[in-house]
């Protein structure tokens, strides 16, 4: 009998599976034990850093081109052992008044416990509003919003990670705004490599969006051999979308070593997207970015053991 599974394509805020219990104690504050590092590949740019005197936490942010949204991982020997491949956790950035709750994948990195989640560098009230922006905002409004986003990012000095089964961690992100600038520059190079204008991509008044029917098609075909093996995947994907909404060039940006997920994910590209809009509200060609999660509910394998390449 095949194992039970769920598939989710993340197009806005992450779905919340359950509420995390309240944390009574303060999280452990960790200072950097290394400088920020920048790494890049054909489909992603990454920031990484180590925290704690004994390198307690390794921290990494992967950018695959989606504005304001990143794939974040952290791992270390003292993280509590996970019993399931996914759960929930909370995090808070310096400007946030409240903790944010989000879904999280659990597994291993380098033989130690790891957590994988989507990090959104937007004020909490803008998490879902970003992809539903006005179809024709004024240039003054666009400039005001861009200034607010820069001010928010420039005020980030730490990230508080509340992990089930521990007191959590408070990572002191010294020099984070400047590191993000380097990451942005790297992503602009990716845009050019993919044949899109980074200035236009960053100034869209509305991002390209996907229909619910296409979501079902793109994540509804779990590769049968991967399902039998209990393999899970958290996959960044990009799709070129023409001004008339026609999709092409579907690329899974991180194919697990087991393979087989790319064809399943991209085979559903038959319907038209809602095209992106420029600052004047006119449809333009752009790149659509998202994350697809293939998850076997009772998988003994947990999250893929080697999520990087």
Number of domains in the chain: 2
Q: Which of 117-126, 145-154, 208-217, 295-304 has the lowest mean pLDDT?
A: 295-304
Query: Does the structure show a pLDDT above 90 at 203?
Result: no
Residues 168 and 263 both lie in one domain: no
Strands 100-109 vs 57-63: parallel, antiparallel or unpaired? unpaired
Look up residue 208 and give its two tokens. Answer: 């390209």
Q: Of 202, 227, 248, which closes a domain?
A: 202
Residues 144 and 238 in one domain: no
Domain co-membership, 180 together with 246: no
> What does the alpha-carbon distance between residue 92 and residue 226 come to, in Å, rounded to a whole number?
35
| CATH number of the structural domain spanning residue 91 | 2.60.40
pLDDT in tens, 117-127: 999 998 876 55
**Domain annotation covers residue 2:** no
- Beta-carbon contacts of residue 189 (< 8 Å; ≥ 6 apart): 40, 45
**Domain's final residue, options 169, 202, 235:** 202
What are the tens digits of pLDDT across the range 281-302? 899 999 999 887 776 655 544 4
pTM of the predicted protein model:
0.80
**Is the Cβ–Cβ distance between 43 and 254 less than 8 Å?**
yes
User: In the listed set 166, 181, 202, which residue is the last one of a domain according to the structure?
Assistant: 202
279 and 158 part of one domain: no
pLDDT tens digits, one per residue of 125-145: 655 444 444 455 666 777 787
262 and 167, same structural domain?
no
Mean pLDDT of the chain: 80
Q: Are residues 274 and 169 in the same domain?
A: no
Asked if residue 248 belongs to a domain, the reply is yes
Q: In this structure, are 24 and 109 located in the same domain?
A: yes
Q: Is residue 308 part of a domain?
A: no
What pLDDT score was predicted for residue 129? Answer: 47
Task: Identify whether 223 is part of a domain.
Answer: yes
Burial class (CB in 10 A: 0-12, 13-18, 19+), 32: middle
Residue that has been written with the tokens 């089930």 in this structure:
164
Q: Is the pLDDT of residue 245 over 90?
A: yes
* CATH code for the domain of 237: 3.30.2420
Residue 4 lies in a domain: no
What is the model's pLDDT at position 257? 54
Q: Are residues 112 and 226 in the same domain?
A: no
Q: For the chain, give the DSSP string.
A: -PPPEEEEEESSSPPP-SPPPPP-SPPEEE-BSS--EEEE-SS-EEEEEEETTTT-EEEEEEE-S-TTEEEEEEE-TTSPPPSSSEEEEEEEETT-SSPEEEEEEEEEETTEEEEEEEEE-S-GGGTTTGGG--SS--HHHHHHHHHHHHHHHHT--EEEEE-TTS--EEEE-TTHHHHHHHHHHHHHHHHHHTT--HHHHHT-SB--B--HHHHHHHHS---HHHHHHT--EEEEEEEEE-TTS-EEEEEESS--TT--HHHHHHTTTTSPPBPEE-TTS-EE-EEEEEEEEEEETT-SS-S-S----
The verdict on 158 and 227 lying in the same domain is no
Residue 149 has pLDDT above 90, yes or no: no
Q: Supply the range of the domain harboring residue 189.
A: 12-202
Section 159-177 average pLDDT: 94
Residue 3 forms part of a structural domain:
no
């Amino acid at each position: 009998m095949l194992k039970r599974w769920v598939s989710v394509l993340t197009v806005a805020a992450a779905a919340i599976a359950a509420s995390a219990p309240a944390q009574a104690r303060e999280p452990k504050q960790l200072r950097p034990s290394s400088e920020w590092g920048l790494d890049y590949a054909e489909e992603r740019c990454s920031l990484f850093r180590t925290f704690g005197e004994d390198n307690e936490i390794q921290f990494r942010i992967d950018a695959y081109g989606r504005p304001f949204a990143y794939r974040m991982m952290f791992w270390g020997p003292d993280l509590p052992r996970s019993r399931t491949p996914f759960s929930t956790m909370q995090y808070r950035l310096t400007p946030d008044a409240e903790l944010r709750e989000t879904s999280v994948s659990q597994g291993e990195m380098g033989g130690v416990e790891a957590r994988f989640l989507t990090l959104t560098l937007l004020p909490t009230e803008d998490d879902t509003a970003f992809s539903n922006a006005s179809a024709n905002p004024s240039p003054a409004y666009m400039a005001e919003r861009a200034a607010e986003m820069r001010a928010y990012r420039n005020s980030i000095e730490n990230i508080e990670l509340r992990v089930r089964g521990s007191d959590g961690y408070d990572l002191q992100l010294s020099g984070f705004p400047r590191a993000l600038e380097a990451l942005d520059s790297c992503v602009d190079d990716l845009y050019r490599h993919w044949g899109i204008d980074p200035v236009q991509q960053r100034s869209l008044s509305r991002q390209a969006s996907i229909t619910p029917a296409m979501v079902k098609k793109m994540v509804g075909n779990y590769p049968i051999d991967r399902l039998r093996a209990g393999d899970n995947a958290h996959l960044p994907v990009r799709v070129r979308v023409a001004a008339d909404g026609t999709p092409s060039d579907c690329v899974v940006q991180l194919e697990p070593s087991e393979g087989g997920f790319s064809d399943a994910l991209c085979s559903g590209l038959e319907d038209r997207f809602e095209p992106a809009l420029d600052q004047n509200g006119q449809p333009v060609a752009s790149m659509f970015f998202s994350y697809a999660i293939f998850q076997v509910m009772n998988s003994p394998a947990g999250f893929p053991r080697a999520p990087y390449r």
